[in-house]
Chain A
Amino acid sequence: MINCEKASTICNKKQYKEATFLEQIQLGFHLLYCKTCAAFSKKNKKLTILCDKANLHNLSEQEKEKMKVTIEHNS
């Protein structure tokens, strides 16, 4: 048996494929009787799908540093 706090952590880990097999079983069992966590888990999964779909890009820190230097040179 695990509590809701543990369950939500496992659920978050699962979104990044970092939950162990045992954890996933524990979570699955918890979701059977806990409606709150089941709703959270569903929404969490949805968020992951949205993030994948949006194909987000970010600049790396080095590139940002470079930009900062250029801006400073010009201001």
Chain B
Amino acid sequence: MTKNQLNPTSWVDQYADYLFNYAVARVSDAEIAKDLVQETFLAGLKSAKNFQGAATERTWLIAILKRKVIDYYRKINSKKGKAEVRINYSSQSDSAGDWLEENVADPFSTLENDQIENVELGQAIQECISKLPKKQSAVFVMKTIRGLSTEDICNELGINPSNLWVMVHRARTNLMGCLNENWFKL
């Protein structure tokens, strides 16, 4: 087995989006997630000499990010009492019938599962995107995730529209295949 090596200069290009999605799904705030990703890279640099080469770069970075997310929740809960769950009668409207029973979660609801599933789906898609050739993934990300117009993308990448649609087509076909493997076969 070849040993994995760290290559910090390419971290941002290769893993920033993947890590960012991981963080956003867990702290549900883009600004905080961005800071966590940044901290992860810095922590990774600092402890790069401890890297054994047993895991891939990405696994290693995710492990650091995981600790960062935990630390974040520890920090915001460190003030006494913040971690308590308080149940109040809803304060604004204490009219008749506004009782706790009505605030209880619906036991038959599957909405929570949907949300968890969507987070995992996001990760699966992100992983498939990272496997695409660089040009394809750039076009697909700009078009689908950042929602830029065809014109803007053509200007930025210096390609013509028919070229762009070929790229999009290849990316989408690859993604379909990849998701078929990684998502629907689970």
B37 interfacial contact with A, CB 8 Å: yes
- Known interface pairs A50-B179, A51-B144, A57-B21. Does A64 touch B12 (Cβ–Cβ under 8 Å)? yes
List residues of chain A with CB within 8 A of the CB of B8. 71, 75
Q: Which DSSP category, helix, strand, loop or mixed, fits chain B's interface?
A: helix
Q: Which DSSP category, helix, strand, loop or mixed, fits chain A's interface?
A: helix
Q: B118: which of A18, A43, A55, A75 is its contact (CB, 8 Å)?
A: A55
What is the interface residue range for chain B against chain A? 35 or more
List residues of chain A with CB within 8 A of the CB of B118. 53-55
Q: Whole-angstrom distance from the CB of A43 to the nearest CB of chain B?
A: 5
A16 interfacial contact with B, CB 8 Å: yes
Q: A56: which of B16, B42, B126 is its contact (CB, 8 Å)?
A: B126
Rounded to whole angstroms, the CA-CA distance of A65 and B47 in the bound complex is 22
B145 contacts A57, CB within 8 Å? yes
- Known interface pairs A12-B165, A63-B34. Does A58 touch B12 (Cβ–Cβ under 8 Å)? no
Query: Please, what's the 1-or-0 string for A56-69, where 1 marks a CB less than 8 Å from any CB in chain B?
Result: 11111001100110
A36 interfacial contact with B, CB 8 Å: no
A50 contacts B125, CB within 8 Å? yes
What is the interface residue range for chain A against chain B? 20 to 34
Rounded to whole angstroms, the CA-CA distance of A54 and B16 in the bound complex is 18
- Known interface pairs A47-B175, A57-B24. Does A71 touch B165 (Cβ–Cβ under 8 Å)? no
Q: A54: which of B125, B141, B168 is its contact (CB, 8 Å)?
A: B125
A-B contact pairs, 9 of them (CB 8 A): A16-B144, A47-B176, A50-B125, A51-B145, A56-B122, A59-B17, A71-B41, A74-B46, A75-B45
- Which chain A residues have a beta carbon within 8 Å of chain B's beta carbons? 8-9, 12-13, 15-16, 18, 43-44, 47, 50-51, 53-60, 63-64, 67-68, 70-72, 74-75
- Report, nearest first, the 9 A-B pairs whose CB atoms are least far apart: A54-B122, A54-B121, A56-B145, A58-B145, A67-B12, A68-B12, A58-B17, A57-B24, A64-B12
Query: Could you list 10 further interchain pairs (A-B, Cβ under 8 angstroms) beyond the known A55-B118, A71-B12?
Result: A16-B144, A44-B176, A47-B172, A54-B118, A56-B125, A57-B30, A57-B145, A58-B21, A70-B38, A72-B9
